[in-house]
Structure 1
Amino acid sequence: MVRRFLFFPAVLHGLILTLELTAVSMAIGVAFGMLLAIMALSRYPVVSAASTLYVWLFRGTPLLVQLIFWFNIALVFPVVGFGHWQMSINRLITPMAASLLGLGLNEAAYMAEIVRAGINSVDRGQVEAARSVGLTDGQTMHHVVLPQAFKVVIPPTANQTIGMLKNTSLVSVIGAQELLTRAEDIYARNFQVVELLIVASLWYLALTTVASAVQYWLERRLGDSTWARPLAATRSGA
């Protein structure tokens, strides 16, 4: 029975959506997390305080609560728009959109701390040297700091991606039709609860195993001394 449902079309569609949720949510998390990390290191107290507040709020509340909040945001803001143009939030914030908001914005808080730690790991002497040759703060960050911080940031980011693969199962509470939701829909009709849960678990295991293998390869690659060469070339070409 498990084999029968392992490649069931509905299950495979849920699997694809799980991969899409993971990829897009991590992209949101990494991009916004980098911005938050740079804000946290800003010389302006208001900017750094805003980053600290965001991280405190999104790390301090459960992801499940955040998902439910975004799914029900229409209870607070029924419509959005200006002038004669207005749109119902219920049309805008679909289960998929709520899932991406919840997963992506939550991930950004964790990525902000990871990126900030990576930036802080760069020797301050190199930053001062970059400024002494006339590079602006933005150029120093782009050409000197971030390329070196990259080596520190990648391994924990891979861990976060593996965690994201599993966290996508939480969106089943808002009916986003990912892997677990599809499995639940099927066993709600045929009552093969254990079999469908095993199917979902096998796919999660397969995905996390592949992701762990990629993580292992990345860690070995980053540990290779030759990794420093392209970074050095990037800086010298700046």
Structure 2
Amino acid sequence: MTTSSLLAQRLERVRSEIAAAAHKAGRNPEDVELVAVSKFHPASSIAEAIAAGQRIFGENRVQEASAKFPALRELSPDIKLHLIGGLQTNKARDAVQLADRIESLDRPALADALAKAADACGRMPELLIEVNTGNEPQKFGIARDQADDFIRLCQKRFGEKLCGLMCIPPADEDPTLHFQLLRSMALHHGLPVLSMGMSADYPQAIAQGATHVRVGTAIFGPRPTIP
């Protein structure tokens, strides 16, 4: 079996499992978008996923995404790039120029940097606020007790460009409780997009209303070793 056919089969398996999870939850599978997390994987693997019909990709690092996606977009202009990793303020301008959606807005200083970058670049990607639902000190994301105020401020500032919320639950806890919390916040603020669920738990996320699931290993295989 070639690498290309293996990746295509993995992608099809994930799509089938997304559809099954949606049907089980009484949802339309078309209401759940797959974000293929391509961080650390080469552009050639992303090109294989594109050939298999995938159009939305997630990258953690602006510098890595900048090295891969301009050339891929020349060949496939309809692909979308989501930046899903913690974002430094000094990378805000590059992120605004490159991304279709930034999923990791998590603090006022970054909101300031993104607004300034958008004014300079003449464009603003869609934005998701990342909520640290487990209040884990080692993780990015706005703390739970600060999230409501921050969401309201960003809604006033960015309008419809702020379209939803994202979370990464603690690895040692039931993710369902965190997905329920994020869904409750999104409903309270009238935000339509819920980016939650990864390779290990996306069926549970879909059951709790995820509109986007971020899946990497189940599609691309183990991450290459990074020096």
The TM tier, using the shorter chain, reads: under 0.3
> Which has the larger Rg?
1
More strand as a share of residues: 2
TM-score of the pair, normalised by structure 2: 0.23
- Between the two structures, name the one with larger relative contact order (CA 8 Å, sep ≥ 6): 1
TM-score of the pair, normalised by structure 1: 0.22
More helix as a share of residues: 1
